[in-house]
A = this chain, B = another copy of it.
Amino acid sequence: MSLIVQKYGGTSVGTVERIHRVADRVAEAKKAGHALVVVLSAMSGETDRLLRLAHEVTASPDERELDMLLSTGERVTIALLAMDLRGRGINAQSFTGRQVGIITDSSHTKARIARVTAERIREALAEGIIPVVAGFQGINERNDVTTLGRGGSDLTAVALAAALKADRCVIYTDVDGVYTADPNIVPSARRLDRVSYEEMLELASLGAKVLQSRSVEFAAKHGVPLEVKSSFKEGQGTLVVTEDADMERVAVSGVSGDRNQAKITIIGVPDRPGVAARIFGPVAEANIIVDMIIQNVSQASLTDISFTVPRADLGKAVGLVQRIAKEIEAKSVAVTEVIAKVSLVGVGMRSHSGVAARMFEVLSKEGINIMMISTSEIKISCVIEEKYLELAMRTLHGAFGLDQSPAA
């Protein structure tokens, strides 16, 4: 008998009808002889409704109180699913984050899990009860409710799977797995049967919203086999597992695109030691995440420094950078708001050389100018003009053989 942690997201429990379908799935898995733990999100829209209420009450709601408020959403869904299962004669019981011992630090609204006791889950499993657990929430050492941030229910599921040494953690969502590219942009995109934790992390950080990065990191660290599956259709999903030799046979596993960046260039920066720190220190302090940085070769002791920031933070960043530019006596600040980032990801890059060169060649053949480049061991990203993003993704997807299944 294997132990499986199933997690259902907000759209999967968004209506009473959908809760019935989740109960069907749980009943099936139980019938198949598995021991089960179920983790739920709040009904889709509920967290936003509560946030709206909070902001109607006061401009900047206290974060401890926000956690008290937001943690109610999952309590509603776990109670409803447990009722549904019990109504069918299946022994299930709902448990809050507190009751299953998800102990966190005190960073309200974005708490980090310190430890998981899972005592009541073990008791329940021993009694043949299916625990239905509220995702997204825990308690701190003061016994106050905390929440784990957006997508935190994935983290709850993975943390419980790790604590219970579960055989698998299945994340049911509204897509049926991880794709070689966004199928809305690249129609020939294929679902991947397997992907490594590292690839999944790169894809998540590049904007593929299938899994929250923190939960992938947690799964990788504790070796929890993750599966992403559709809660709406039958069939296989994508397994997220430790990298294996098979994966290295293909150079590139996926192509991803990101429109949420903007580019800032500081022109004519005096090329002195410490100048980069004077720029990026204050930017980091303002909680603006800089993704890529490029510094041109210095000419006549002057250099240009370009970097990308999330488009949502652009206004804040530009104001700050203009002040800094004055202080360091740079010439001027230029902004390109509409850029996009196209990336190739694959653990196979470690053993396949020439991926970057081939990528530049493919883009150049299409007449797409590369503004910035950044690389890691298993990823190459290029910043291009936004209007070329779809073309770049489709062309790269074909050029790296992602249109065909790897067996072919």
Chain A residues near B (Cβ < 8 Å): 16, 19-20, 50, 53-54, 56-62, 64-66, 68-69, 71-72, 75-76, 78-80, 82-84, 86-87, 93-94, 96, 99, 143-145
Contact = CB atoms under 8 A, between A and B. Distances in A.
Given A62-B83, A65-B86, A69-B83, 13 more contacts: A16-B56, A19-B57, A20-B57, A53-B76, A54-B80, A57-B80, A58-B86, A60-B87, A62-B82, A68-B79, A68-B82, A68-B96, A69-B80
A76 B60 CA distance: 17
7 contacts: A19-B57, A57-B83, A64-B93, A65-B83, A65-B86, A72-B72, A96-B145
Given A16-B56, A64-B93, A99-B143, A75 B71 contact: yes
A59 B54 CA distance: 33
A99 to B, nearest CB: 6
A16 B76 contact: no
A65 B79 contact: yes
A358 to B, nearest CB: 54
A108 B246 CA distance: 55
Interface of A is mostly: helix
Contact of A57 (B50, B62, B69, B87): B87
Contact of A87 (B59, B82, B143): B59
Given A69-B80, A143-B99, A87 B75 contact: no
A23 B20 CA distance: 40
A96 B53 CA distance: 19
Nearest to A72: B72
A87 B61 contact: yes
A50 B57 CA distance: 22
A57 B84 contact: yes
Contacts of A82: 62, 65, 68
Contacts of A16: 53, 56-57
A75 B69 contact: yes
Nearest to A71: B75
A78 B50 CA distance: 13
Nearest to A16: B56
Contacts of A93: 64-65
A246 to B, nearest CB: 44
A126 to B, nearest CB: 15
A53 B65 contact: no
A61 B94 CA distance: 13
Contacts of A145: 96
Contacts of A54: 79-80, 83
A68 B53 contact: no
A296 B64 CA distance: 66
A61 B83 contact: yes
A149 B99 CA distance: 23
Contacts of A76: 50, 53, 69, 72
A58 B75 contact: no
Contacts of A75: 68-69, 71-72
B79 A69 contact: yes
Nearest to A132: B65
Contact of A66 (B50, B58, B78, B79): B79
A119 to B, nearest CB: 11
A251 to B, nearest CB: 49
A86 B62 contact: yes
A59 B61 CA distance: 38
A81 to B, nearest CB: 8
Nearest to A145: B96
Contacts of A59: 87
Contacts of A53: 16, 76, 80
